[in-house]
Amino acid sequence: MGCGKSSAVAIFRELGFAVIESDAIVRQLWDTDAEVQKAALARWGNAITVSNSQQIDRRKVAAVVFGDTKELDWLEGILHPRVSKLWRGTVAAEPQKDWVVEIPLLYEKNLASDFNFTLCITSSPALQAKRLAARGLSPADIAARQARQWPLQQKIDRADFVALNDGSLNFLRQQIVQLAARLRGT
């Protein structure tokens, strides 16, 4: 979180890789899956809606779930199977493509073995915190979300490849370009 996964994914996309972003699937589910919406509204009611509407406010949902492990586990139990089904189906439909699947909780959810290789994007804790603060997250929000993730060093230790994102976007791009060439054997 805040290390630059989205930037790396954008670079892979520019290089011609087919990309699936789990966070985008989650946003799509919130916007289009009536069962997800109905379940969330039944559980949390108007506490998660935009004023005077039945439209779900994802920031309000985040405030509920990242403050309560039980609630987050419940939500992940609804969302994660749907996300998995969607990305697996998409990849299976076009196995010939060079796929990049972005999954923020890859290791935490024991999904790494489903892939040919893993890439961990890293950055210093200070820069990570600065990026997250720029997105409007408070130090408490950051800490609550990080508490649900493995420490970055554990992810680095398990990853097949690691890219450092403490420099410019061009520096990250150079790393991704080199990795892409290696993966494609060029």
- Give the model's pLDDT for residue 57: 93
Does 75 share its domain with 125? Answer: no
Domains in the chain: how many in total? 2
Range name among 17-26, 117-126, 147-156 with the lowest pLDDT average: 147-156
Range of the domain at 152: 1-17+98-186
Mapping DSSP to helix (H, G, I), strand (E, B) and coil, where does residue 179 land?
helix
Q: What is the CATH number of the domain that holds 121?
A: 3.40.50.300
Range name among 34-38, 52-56, 62-66 with the lowest pLDDT average: 52-56
Q: Residues of 22-53 as b/e, b for ≥16 C-beta within 10 angstroms? A: beebbeebbeebeebbebbeeebeeebbeeee
pTM for the full predicted model? 0.88
DSSP structural state of residue 56:
B
Cβ atoms of 97 and 12 within 8 Å: the answer is no
Q: Across all residues in the chain, what is the average pLDDT? A: 93
Cβ atoms of 180 and 17 within 8 Å: the answer is yes
- Give the model's pLDDT for residue 67: 85
Question: Does residue 137 surpass a pLDDT of 90?
Answer: no
Does 186 share its domain with 109? Answer: yes
Does 92 share its domain with 105? Answer: no
Does 73 share its domain with 163? Answer: no
Task: Identify the top-confidence range among 8-17, 129-138, 143-152.
Answer: 8-17
Does 35 share its domain with 74? Answer: yes
Decide which of 75, 97, 119 is a domain's last residue.
97
Decide which of 64, 97, 130 is a domain's last residue.
97
Task: Express each pLDDT in 142-176 by its tens digit.
Answer: 888 888 889 999 999 999 999 999 989 999 999 99
- Give the model's pLDDT for residue 64: 93
Does 166 share its domain with 119? Answer: yes
Does 108 share its domain with 185? Answer: yes
